[in-house]
Amino acid sequence: MRNIFLFVRRYFNLLFFLLLQVVSVYFIIHYSKYHQAAFGNTANQVTGKVNTQYSNIERYFHLKKTNDSLIKANEGLYNKLKVDFELPDTSTKAVIDSIMIDSIMQFKKYTYLAARVVSNSVSAQNNYIVLSRGRLRNLRPGMGIVDLNNAVIGITTDVSDDFAVVMSLLHKDSHISGKLLKGGETGTLSWDGKEPNMITLTNIPKSAKIAKGDSVISSGFSTSFPKGIMIGTVEAVYKEVSTSNFKIKLRTAANFYNLEYAYAIDNSQQNAINNILDKIKDKH
């Protein structure tokens, strides 16, 4: 307490001067409309900047909750895509003059299942992705996996109760069917193990018209992906010397360096198609 009195006594003149300054400013602002407006604008500016910074900090600490909610929202939206539904072929059926109510779900072919990426590699010859969703939550081997932008990243190979292993597009044994969006020619996608985010499309005939920037999509010729899922864009085109085909370099639509969430595509017809193919193989 004694130190406080000593401080006030020592700096009395300065403190008294500052007090008079504050009182003067108060009277000026209080009785002058011009200064009121000027002070109000300045105060609002400062307050706005402080509130903005506080809001940014608060938003940062809520990013995980926001991301999780967006993932669930996207899952619902993807499950309403037109490509997810397939109407049965009714050309040989008798048409009944009636309307089925709420019957669209029986025609749903593809369902998107959200999952978090817990492990991902890009630098090995055989790269895998691990998802924190498994058999107990409807995942199984052979399901196509896409990123948040609905771009192909791989196919599930092994599934446990709580996790799933995905063979990445960046895997030397990955051979997914790809299709040129413009011309419709279909080829096979593979990775040479050199540059992440760059893959190769082969078996495209030299008669095809291809330009840099053209899109390559899933062909729909497998049970893993519906037709039209984005795979990548053409980066370079080379003529194979010993064949009548092109060798096309693609930049993947998915960025394998920053995968955090993914969607597994559940094809409701997958098991039925695989069973038929297995029976044909057994006969031969």
Domain 108-283 CATH assignment equals 2.40.10.340? yes
The answer on pLDDT for 89 being more than 60 is no
Domain layout of the chain by residue ranges? 2-61, 108-283
- pLDDT tens-digit map of 265-281: 998 877 777 777 777 77
pLDDT of amino acid 66? 64
* Rounded Cα gap, residues 211 and 252, in angstroms: 16
Q: What is the pLDDT of residue 12?
A: 77
Q: Which amino acid is at 37?
A: A
In sequence order, the 6+-apart residues with CB closer than 8 A to the CB of 140 are 156, 159
The pLDDT assigned to 36 comes to: 56
The fraction of the chain above a pLDDT of 70, given in percent, is: 73
What average pLDDT score do residues 165-192 get?
92
Report the alpha-carbon distance of residue 157 to residue 134 in Å, rounded: 11
For residue 98, what pLDDT band results from cuts at 50, 70 and 90?
very low
CA–CA gap between residue 116 and residue 259 (Å, rounded):
9
Please give the Cα distance from 227 to 216 (Å, whole number): 11
Q: Output DSSP code: residue 87.
A: -
List of long-range contacts for 76-84, beta carbons under 8 Å, 24+ apart: 78/112, 78/150, 78/263, 79/108, 79/111, 79/112, 81/110, 83/110, 83/226, 83/227, 83/228, 84/108, 84/109, 84/110, 84/111, 84/112, 84/226
229-238 mean pLDDT: 94
With cut-offs at 50, 70 and 90, classify the pLDDT of residue 56.
Answer: low
Q: Are strands 144-146 and 152-159 parallel, antiparallel or unpaired?
A: antiparallel
pLDDT digits (tens, 9 = 90+) for 63-86: 666 677 677 677 777 776 665 555
Q: Report the chain's mean pLDDT, rounded to a whole number.
A: 79
The answer on pLDDT for 30 being more than 70 is no
pTM (predicted TM-score): 0.66
Rg, Å, the chain Cα set: 31
pLDDT, average across residues 130-153:
92
**According to the model, what pLDDT value does residue 24 have?**
76
